[in-house]
Structure 1
Amino acid sequence: MDRKKNISMAVIKRLPKYYRYLRELLKSGVARISSKELSEQIGFTASQIRQDLNCFGDFGQQGYGYNIKDLYEQIGNILGLTEEYKMVLIGSGNIGQAVANYLYFEKIGFRICGIFDRNPKLIGLRIRDIEIQDIDFLSEYLKDNSIDIGIICVTKESAQSICDVLTANDVRGIWNFAPVDLEVPADVIVENVHLSESLLTLSCLLNDSTNYKNKSIIDKEE
């Protein structure tokens, strides 16, 4: 049985942050770190870090801490970074171009193989030496190439139809930047990146902080 099926989504979503901080520690030449020291770096409590990591095995030793290189590699394994993932990008507007030009993805095994758009002004242009193809050829391309992940960077009106083409051609991972919730088969995984929702969350927290400050002033005046 896949052990990760019993792990909460909250823990899984914290793993990339561990991975990022451990990478920076490795770059800085740090070889070993305690859960307390890591908590000061990452912002989680030491207890939370130990609980999260214990979900996947025994990585540290009491009084000895974590070997950063080993822990980094083990979390990379848990995140599936021992594999290479072939991806297609649909929509080469501003967001799509930003995704396509982010070199780090390829360094950790996520390779964009094809880019598609319906804008005739963009078709035939290249992003990092990948030619933008007419979206009408997407289905044919998917049939001829084994693709793991589809990146959707189109309008909300077009997103579901693009998603349907992807899933009909055995793409089982969808990275969705369109501001809409997609309907997919049970065996397809969708990770949504709703930029407006993220911004509104920030707005809410800023507003809550302002209200808290104003309340404190009123309390003092009373």
Structure 2
Amino acid sequence: MKKDAKISNAVIKRLPRYRRYLKELQKKGVDKISSNEFSSLIGYTASQIRQDLNNFGGFGQQGYGYNVEGLYNEISAILGLDKEYKMVIVGAGNLGQAIANHTYYYKAGFVVCGIFDINPRLIGLKINDIEVMDYETIVDYVEQNQIDIGIICTTKDSAQEVADKLCFAGVRGLWNFAPIDLEVPEYVAVENVHLSDSLHSLAYHMNRNYEEKEKAAEK
């Protein structure tokens, strides 16, 4: 990575997509790929791909392109996916249970170690062999087990208090599914997943595409 370079969030958000396509190429036995070939496959321009990767050193060779396995490993390291992360889920409702049961996270090095809730009817329940614990014990658990990531699946009203506790206990990142923007210390990373925002964006694109189709039909 270029020393002291500030990488835009837009570039970071494209890296997992690059990695995912590179993994598929590996499965097909592809050893190398040019930026133009990658462009045709992934949908970004070749120039965009080169610019994005140049933020971290480039990795390509003129006249050869990119080594698929090498680039996959480099992007994995840039994203920090060459490590394992311990996570806790706060909120054992439908969303929390779905995340706990999604085995992809475990395969990718994100391990759910604990699940917490305030509902007495849920405490003691086992989800994917993980027992739901009393939320009141979360600070001690996070500290003792050196948890890296807190996943917030609570209501909007509870989310900030949960975030405060998790930050106090020492997590380095929050994956927030509550419909609220959290206030956290600068050293804690936050990724907000506002499901309604995503659905609203989908509605916009659907309507825009329909309008463009109608205009084209009128010509």
- TM-score using structure 1 length: 0.93
Q: Give a deviation string over 1:155-205, Cα, whole Å, max 9, x none.
A: 111111111110111112000011111111121111001110000000011
Deviation at residue 9 of structure 1 after TM alignment? 1.2
RMSD: 1.6
Match in the other structure for 2:13: 13
Identity among equivalent pairs (%): 60
Asked if the contact 2:26–2:68 (Cα under 8 Å) also holds between the matched residues in 1, the reply is yes
Match in the other structure for 1:165: 165
Deviation at residue 5 of structure 1 after TM alignment? 4.9
Q: Where does structure 1 lack aligned partners over 5 or more consecutive residues?
A: none
Deviation at residue 41 of structure 1 after TM alignment? 1.2
SS of the residue aligned with 2:114? strand
1:30 maps to amino acid: V
Alignment of 1:16-95 (within 5 A): 16-95=16-95
SS of the residue aligned with 1:6? coil
Asked if the contact 2:178–2:194 (Cα under 8 Å) also holds between the matched residues in 1, the reply is yes
Q: Give a deviation string over 1:69-120, Cα, whole Å, max 9, x none.
A: 1000010000111221111111121111111112121222111111111222
Deviation at residue 4 of structure 1 after TM alignment? 7.0
TM-aligned CA distance change 1:85 to 1:76, over 3 Å: same
TM-aligned CA distance change 1:3 to 1:19, over 3 Å: farther
Q: Tell me, yes or no, if structure 1 residue 106 matches structure 2 residue 69.
A: no
Q: Where does structure 2 lack aligned partners over 5 or more consecutive residues?
A: none
Q: Distance in 1 between matches of 2:80 and 2:3?
A: 13
SS of the residue aligned with 2:190? strand
Asked if the contact 2:156–2:180 (Cα under 8 Å) also holds between the matched residues in 1, the reply is yes
1:7 maps to amino acid: I
Q: Distance in 1 between matches of 2:135 and 2:6?
A: 39
Q: Tell me, yes or no, if structure 1 residue 175 matches structure 2 residue 175.
A: yes
Asked if the contact 2:81–2:109 (Cα under 8 Å) also holds between the matched residues in 1, the reply is yes
Q: Tell me, yes or no, if structure 1 residue 126 matches structure 2 residue 126.
A: yes
SS of the residue aligned with 1:72? helix
Asked if the contact 2:140–2:169 (Cα under 8 Å) also holds between the matched residues in 1, the reply is no
SS of the residue aligned with 2:88? strand
1:45 maps to amino acid: T
Deviation at residue 217 of structure 1 after TM alignment? 4.4
Match in the other structure for 2:136: 136
Match in the other structure for 1:153: 153
Q: Distance in 2 between matches of 1:4 and 1:19?
A: 24
2:120 maps to amino acid: P
- TM-score using structure 2 length: 0.94
TM-aligned CA distance change 1:4 to 1:19, over 3 Å: farther
1:186 maps to amino acid: E
What is the total number of aligned residue pairs between the two structures? Answer: 219
Q: Which moved more, 1:96-105 or 1:67-76?
A: 96-105
Q: Distance in 2 between matches of 1:110 and 1:179?
A: 23
